[in-house]
């Protein structure tokens, strides 16, 4: 009987608890990079992603969970991963409606070596990032 009590539809109670605690919504994903500005030293890239506008107190629905930079001799791949904190965690919850496009948010990357003519590639789209 004890074994039956710890399994529900073939899943252990622990597996069900883990699945519920992870939630269905609020999964991070890689945001497309709209453009980039290279610093005068060639070692700093400021990337622009589009998100919803922050609230008056400065908080934002989109939270950057990770950023990635990978350098080779001919290109630099950069990526920004973010999660929308305003999305509901579970299908039965209501989220906060936001217009999640249009606000330019800056994310800074520090390179090991100066850019020196290498292309900047967006991790999300695998496209060349426009530089300004």
> How does pLDDT run across 62-73, given as a tens digit for each residue?
889 999 999 999
* Region 39-61 average pLDDT: 90
The tokens describing 82, both together, are 């973010």
Residue 1 has pLDDT above 50, yes or no: no
Output phi, psi for 86, to 5 deg.
-90, -10
Q: What's the pLDDT at 3?
A: 47
Average pLDDT, the chain: 82
> How does pLDDT run across 95-107, given as a tens digit for each residue?
555 555 688 999 9
Q: Can you tell me the distance from the alpha carbon of 106 to that of 90, in angstroms, rounded to the nearest whole number?
A: 30
């Amino acid at each position: 009987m004890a074994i039956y009590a710890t399994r529900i539809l073939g899943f252990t109670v622990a597996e069900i608890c883990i699945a519920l605690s992870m939630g269905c919504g609020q999964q991070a994903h890689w945001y497309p990079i709209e453009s980039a500005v290279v610093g005068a030293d060639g070692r700093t890239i400021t990337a622009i992603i589009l998100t919803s506008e922050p609230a008056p107190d400065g908080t934002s629905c989109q939270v950057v969970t990770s950023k990635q930079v990978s350098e080779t001799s001919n290109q630099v791949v950069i990526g920004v991963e973010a999660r929308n904190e305003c999305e509901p965690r579970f299908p039965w919850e209501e989220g906060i409606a936001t217009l999640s496009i249009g606000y330019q948010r800056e994310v800074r990357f520090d390179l090991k070596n100066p850019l020196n003519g290498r292309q900047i590639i967006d991790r999300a789209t695998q496209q060349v990032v426009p530089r300004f």
